[in-house]
Chain A
């Protein structure tokens, strides 16, 4: 069973002086899985990713990567690649030279290292001979991913890989990660973008103040029974507001943080109460033109869990 596990972390603790960055973290990532790591700023995501990449050693706990235990010594096991806090690129080198220098560092022949192939995978073939100095953030992210791919990793660790990506770049990156996972490579990525996580990850771990507050499949997270804010656009906003006020389990949210629009009604409710409201609206002859959660169920779950953790400190 463990042979299929890319990461197995138990009770990982890491402190910086008096600051506890990670407090007894458990993490399991199976082979071929894309695992999302989510948490508010300062939650400890980057520290955890740094441990996986061998940039730091845990103060206590047990960490196994690709089936082998990791000790206090820095440096990750073979087969691990990725980046934290943005990809490291040398602006005076071209994209190709950056990759060639890395390949040479690993003792590989730059002609057979697959540089053109990885550049093609991330969609940077056209700018392969341009200096990285002029690259946008999205291009830098893709080149960073290409650098990681060059090592043919079995575990890919990426910190905010979608930052700065345009839709085309995002498509490239998502395609690459999905293909890698299909081929058996495990991917751990952190992101603040729930749409990315929904599109890519089969499981997520939510960290808040150095502790795991949720770990499991996305479907389980989204299905957690909690009230959400919904945005309703109807043919008769006044009537809709009256009906909402009269429906049990519905609360009208006047301060929803959204742009003020008199035509829009924002209500907070569980799904059954919302269903009742919709039935009432239809019976009253009020046309329902739009009904959508203000934030996605996943994001709402994330906010609820992390706010609970913050409040409990």
Chain B
């Protein structure tokens, strides 16, 4: 027997071009009823949800910007963004990217597809691009629909930022758009994980669920008291880092780190999926996922990526602790209070005052005096002091703070009643929500503690 194999590619026909393969994959994706339903749901449901919630007497005040849904239509898309980052986007990427390869296993169409396209590489690219397109369509639907619902139902009023400063409608629109664009990065990371799961786990439902499970695990990690460097090294941080866009100045450091980390995950997971896919033996009828190779070729590199990014973030930013320190909490609370005090002043039709004139400061302690005032917890107690022009006495207000490990806090006013002790204020136009009673704020985890 002559044991020779002829020169490569002598007779291979030209494979189908990527644009044609992409179109083919799109046709297949949008022909599925569940994808059509998802597209419809993403373009319609958020508008209805935001419009309905905005007209209710009770607002989702435990959700970031939820307490402002009566005040401006720009709060609606941000409430939806918070929900999307937690639930919708992981599930959407699961259904689309987590199934894009596995469905061919389920239908038994791999050989047909290979004969038709003639290039596993191009099949991978076409499938990845098609699933990316559908995911972008779904994200765009969530963003546009919730914005339309909010603006139509409530109106185009200024938005109160996360540090209490007012954003003009045009600024709010730009920042809302930017926030949605920023969460594309972690969405891409989940999509990459979805592709990897879909390639490695074959028909197993675990492939479909992988992005949602990974997102859930990362959310649980974000709820744990982890060091800031670890928190920022997880792509899920970018789902909350957009908060920093709504402070003045914007907290761009964590946001940019979150985006870069997410894109690294997206690229790494996609490359791993690609390598595993092009090495697959399509003539093996018993193939049902890469099995053990999934662990060595999929999980270990991503675990390595986490280790490297934790090291790089810790080294370059010096963030080793929780990032929630007494000075930063005090500064953040005082800033938000000053901005919101101005808002309350306007509501009550009092003489205008500036933040500089107020000279607001805060003094915070956490728990008992024996415990260091740092880290997350709901036992932060603060006293805010301020001055009014021409008034000798120093104003004082007490707040209880619940600071979550990601740096977000909710300040709950504890008096005096005229300032922050009651949820309504009596304005010339009638009772209105008291902006100083409860408000949200944000501690930048990477900022230097001494400012």
Contact = CB atoms under 8 A, between A and B. Distances in A.
Interface of A: 10-11, 13, 16, 24, 46-47, 50, 53-66, 68-93, 97, 101-102, 104-107, 144, 147
- Contact residues on B (Cβ < 8 Å of other chain), bracket: 35 or more
Given A55-B115, A69-B11, 18 more contacts: A24-B1, A53-B115, A60-B3, A70-B6, A71-B7, A71-B11, A74-B120, A76-B118, A77-B11, A80-B115, A83-B115, A85-B108, A85-B285, A87-B112, A90-B28, A101-B24, A105-B20, A147-B112
Contacts of A147: 112
A10 B115 contact: no
Contact of B112 (A11, A88, A93, A97): A88
Contact of B10 (A10, A69, A104): A69
A71 B115 CA distance: 16
A275 B15 CA distance: 60
A83 B23 CA distance: 22
Contacts of A61: 1-5
A54 B6 contact: no
Contacts of A74: 12, 114, 118-120
29 contacts: A11-B2, A16-B283, A53-B115, A55-B111, A55-B282, A60-B4, A61-B1, A62-B2, A63-B6, A68-B10, A69-B7, A71-B10, A75-B114, A76-B12, A77-B12, A77-B13, A78-B14, A81-B115, A88-B109, A88-B110, A88-B113, A92-B33, A93-B28, A101-B24, A102-B116, A105-B23, A105-B24, A107-B16, A144-B112
Nearest to A14: B283
A47 B9 contact: no
B283 to A, nearest CB: 4
Contacts of A24: 1
Contacts of B1: 10-11, 13, 24, 60-61
Nearest to B11: A68
Interface string B185-208: 000000000000000000000000
B281 interface: yes
B12 A54 contact: yes
Nearest to B29: A92
B296 interface: no
Nearest to B113: A88
B132 to A, nearest CB: 19
A68 to B, nearest CB: 4
Interface string B81-119: 000000000000000000000000001111111111111
A106 B21 CA distance: 9
Contact of B5 (A50, A53, A60, A102): A60
A62 B2 CA distance: 8
B30 to A, nearest CB: 9
B114 A90 contact: no
Contact of A54 (B110, B113, B114, B285): B114
A90 B24 CA distance: 11
B31 A92 contact: yes
Contacts of A106: 16, 20, 116
B57 interface: no
B32 A50 contact: no
A134 B42 CA distance: 29
A102 B25 CA distance: 11
Contacts of B21: 105
B31 A71 contact: no
A47 B3 contact: no
A59 B281 CA distance: 13
A54 B110 CA distance: 12
Given A56-B282, A75-B119, A88-B107, A101 B27 contact: yes
B392 interface: no
A58 B2 CA distance: 13
B12 A11 contact: no
A60 B1 CA distance: 9
Nearest to B119: A75
Contacts of B12: 54, 70-71, 73-77
B113 A78 contact: no
A104 B26 CA distance: 12
Nearest to B28: A90
B274 to A, nearest CB: 15
B58 interface: no
A60 B31 CA distance: 42
Contacts of B113: 88
A16 B286 CA distance: 12
Interface string B70-81: 000000000000
Closest 3 CB pairs of A and B: A88-B112, A88-B109, A68-B11
A147 B284 CA distance: 23
A307 B21 CA distance: 46
A55 B117 contact: no
Contact of A71 (B9, B282, B285): B9
Contacts of A91: 107
Nearest to B15: A75
B8 interface: yes
A84 B285 CA distance: 10
A5 to B, nearest CB: 14
A47 B13 contact: no
Contacts of A84: 111
A78 B12 CA distance: 7
B23 A104 contact: yes
B5 A57 contact: yes
B40 to A, nearest CB: 16
Contacts of A65: 11
A190 to B, nearest CB: 14
B118 A46 contact: no
Nearest to B110: A88
